[in-house]
């Protein structure tokens, strides 16, 4: 249900202030969401003064710098640092994105870093995505074919292959799903843009033989039609994909078949 | 077991985009329109009860608050119609590019005010 306010245990408090010790003239304030599961406290916002003269270009570099030089207790997910793994998805200045591809020069003023919205926080910037992964599993994201013991490749035409462009690139970083108000209010039932884009990726694959069953499975008031084309998903996608359009295509297929 | 971990901030911190603004306004104006239609029906029904009823209603609608209400309802209908057209086009699968959604979103917002003025002028026999 729609719950605008945060629950009492999630209200954010003011945290510690880490003053710059390098004496740099190029300082930027970075506010970071912190929550420590080992303490019985509310989440807080810690502020770090970061020396930007000695910091590479991306937001992830700022976090690395904070962790290495200012506060080693900061927890966040990161792996490839090249926008491929989707680990460092977070909310930066009010918009979801990958910290490793987002240049801090694109952000105005003080930098505010939060975990992905409306998730149960595990620690600091790490949100619990297990619901999303379960939903992903529910669309059975693998090729279903009756062909057995094939001795040649399962080919598709160039045209059919082109239909997967803009879908197969999805890295499941969850930027889109966690930007979606519908997913915030109905995340347990509505599949959300990331999973629906994946569902569409298999529905539209010419080699898949269970298109009808797949369509039938997502054709549900809550699973699919909670999408009200708010388009926060497309706005958030760090890979410039269009989950909103993929969902619209599923709706269109259901309306026309 | 109940999960006692905190919920990360959502609507409190998320930026508004043109598209999300149009979407929520579409919902709100939809509710306003339902109420407005009900009120208009009640108003027309009250005419059956005689002239005095009509006079009271007309006095109310000609007051400042009444006029504000009328213009508000005109805007609400204008917004709903334009936004609905946008949704219909999207249902056909068009207009999902980020730039297009921004342009059509602005068209709906500014268009709703333009349409309000237009309907008001036509209603007042000024054009």
CB-based contact B105:B82 (threshold 8 Å): no
Query: What mean pLDDT is predicted for residues A208-227?
Result: 94
Out of B6, B15, B96, whose CB is closest to A242?
B96
* B8 is a domain residue: no
Same domain flag for A221 and A248: yes
Residues of B with CB under 8 A from a CB of A: 3-15, 17, 19-20, 23-24, 27, 87, 90-93, 96-98, 101
Tell me which of A114 and A152 has the higher pLDDT: A114
Q: Domain check: are A18 and A108 in the same one?
A: yes
Distances (CA, A) of A163 to A155, A159, A205: 14, 7, 8
Shared-domain flag, residues A49 and A79: yes
pLDDT score at B2? 67
Is residue B59 in some structural domain? yes
| Structural domain of B102 | 21-123
- Residue A2 resides in a domain: no
Question: Looking at this predicted complex, what is its ipTM?
Answer: 0.91
- Please count the residue pairs, one from chain A and one from chain B, whose beta carbons lie less than 8 angstroms apart: 106
- Name the strand (E) or helix (H) holding B104: helix B98-123
Q: How many folded domains does chain A comprise?
A: 2
Which positions in chain A touch B12 (Cβ < 8 Å)?
A: 6
B56/chain A closest Cα distance in angstroms = 40
Give the contacts of B63 (CB within 8 A, at least 6 positions apart).
none
Cβ contact, residue pair A184, B11, below 8 Å: yes
Q: Is residue B37 part of a domain?
A: yes
Q: pTM to 2 decimals?
A: 0.92
The mean pLDDT value for A186-215 works out to: 96
Closest CA–CA distance from residue A122 to any residue of chain B (Å): 7
Given a cut of 60, is residue A143 above it in pLDDT?
Answer: yes
A229/B6 CB distance under 8 A: no
pLDDT score, position B7: 96
Q: Give me the domain span that covers residue A73.
A: 8-127
- Residue B14 domain-assigned? no
Average pLDDT of span A200-218: 96
pLDDT above 70: percentage of residues in chain A: 100
Is A42 near chain B, with CB under 8 Å? yes
Among the three residues A87, A102, A127, which one is the final residue of a domain in this structure?
A: A127
Which CATH number covers residue A236?
Answer: 1.10.1060.10
Q: Minimal Cα distance from B90: which residue of A?
A: A248
- Chain A residue nearest residue B101, CA to CA: A231
Query: Using 50, 70 and 90 to split pLDDT, how confident is the model at A181?
Result: very high
Residue A235 within any structural domain of the chain: yes
A78 and A141 both lie in a single domain:
no
Query: Does the residue B103 lie in any domain?
Result: yes
Identify whether B15 is part of a domain.
no
Q: Is residue A149 over pLDDT 90? A: no
Of all residues in chain A, the one with the smallest CA distance to B94 is A245
* Closest residue in A to B96 (Cα–Cα): A245
Q: Report, as ranges of residue numbers, the positions in chain B whose pLDDT lies below 50.
A: none
Q: Per residue in A218-236, pLDDT tens?
A: 999 999 999 999 999 999 9
The CATH number for B105's domain is 1.20.1300.10
Q: What is the largest CA-CA distance in chain A?
A: 68
Same domain, A96 and A66: yes
Please check whether residue B36 lies inside any domain of the structure. yes
pLDDT tens digits, one per residue of A68-117: 999 999 999 999 999 999 999 999 999 999 999 999 999 999 999 999 99
pLDDT of residue B51: 83
Instruction: Tell me which H or E stretch contains A32.
Output: strand A27-34
* Closest C-alpha to A188, from A244, A128, A229, A140: A128
- Residues A136, A105, single domain; the answer is no
Q: Per the domain annotation, does A3 fall within a domain?
A: no
DSSP state of A1: -
Report the CATH number at residue A103. 3.10.20.30
For A143, what's the count of Cα atoms within 13 Å in the CB-facing half-sphere? 10
Confirm whether B119 is domain-assigned.
yes
Please report the pLDDT score of residue A157 as a whole number.
96
User: Which residues does chain A have within 8 Å of residue B101's beta carbon, measured at their own beta carbons?
Assistant: 231, 234
Contact call for residues A90 and A115 (beta carbons, < 8 A): yes
Crossing angle of helices A243-256 and A192-203, in 10° steps, is 50
- At which of A94, A127, A160 does a domain end? A127
How many other β-carbons are positioned within 10 Å of the β-carbon of residue B66? 14
Q: What does the pLDDT read at residue B127?
A: 77
Q: A97, A108, A166, A235: best mutation site toward chain B, by most B Cβ within 10 Å? A: A235
Q: How far is the C-alpha of B3 from the C-alpha of A254, rounded, in Å?
A: 37
Does some domain include residue A226? Answer: yes
- Kindly report the CA angle at A176 between A120 and A127, in degrees rounded to 5? 20
| A135 and A94 in a common domain | no
Q: Cβ separation of A230 and B9 shorter than 8 Å?
A: no
CA distance linking residue B9 with residue A68, whole number of Å:
26
The three-state secondary structure class of A91 is: strand
Question: Strands across the sheet with A95-98, in order?
Answer: A13-18, A44-51, A27-34, A111-114, A89-92, A95-98
């Amino acid at each position: 249900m729609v719950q605008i306010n945060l629950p009492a245990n999630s209200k954010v408090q003011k945290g510690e202030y880490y003053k710059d010790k390098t004496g740099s003239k190029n300082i930027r304030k970075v506010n970071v969401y912190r929550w420590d599961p080992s303490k019985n406290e509310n989440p807080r916002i810690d502020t770090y003064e970061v020396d930007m003269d000695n910091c590479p270009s991306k937001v992830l570099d700022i976090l690395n710098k904070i962790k290495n030089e200012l506060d080693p207790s900061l927890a966040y997910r990161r792996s490839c640092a090249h926008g491929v793994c989707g680990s460092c998805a977070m909310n930066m200045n009010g918009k979801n994105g990958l910290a490793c591809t987002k240049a801090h020069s694109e952000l105005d003023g003080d930098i505010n870093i939060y975990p992905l919205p409306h998730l149960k926080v595990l620690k600091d910037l790490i949100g619990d995505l297990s619901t999303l992964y379960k939903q992903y599993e529910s669309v059975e994201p693998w090729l279903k074919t009756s062909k057995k013991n094939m001795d040649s490749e399962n080919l598709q035409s160039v045209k059919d292959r082109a239909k997967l462009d803009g879908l197969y690139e999805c890295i499941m970083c969850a930027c889109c799903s966690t930007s979606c108000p519908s997913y915030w209010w109905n995340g347990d039932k509505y599949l959300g843009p990331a999973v629906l884009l994946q569902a569409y990726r298999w529905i539209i694959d010419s080699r898949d033989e269970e298109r009808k069953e797949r369509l039938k499975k997502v054709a549900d008031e809550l699973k699919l039609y909670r999408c009200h084309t708010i388009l926060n998903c497309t706005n958030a996608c760090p890979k410039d994909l269009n989950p909103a359009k993929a969902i619209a295509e599923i709706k269109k297929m259901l309306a026309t078949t | 077991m109940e999960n006692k971990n905190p919920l990360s901030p959502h609507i409190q911190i998320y930026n508004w985009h043109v598209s999300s603004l149009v979407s929520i306004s579409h919902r709100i104006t939809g509710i306003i329109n339902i109420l407005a239609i009900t009120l208009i029906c009640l108003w027309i029904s009250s005419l059956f009860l005689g002239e005095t009823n009509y006079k009271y209603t007309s006095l109310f609608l000609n007051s400042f608050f009444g006029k504000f209400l009328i213009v508000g309802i005109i805007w609400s209908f204008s917004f709903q119609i334009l936004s609905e057209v946008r949704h219909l086009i999207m249902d056909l699968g068009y207009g999902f590019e980020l730039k297009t959604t921004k342009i059509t979103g602005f068209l709906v917002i500014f268009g709703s005010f333009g349409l309000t003025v237009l309907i008001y002028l036509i209603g007042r026999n000024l054009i």
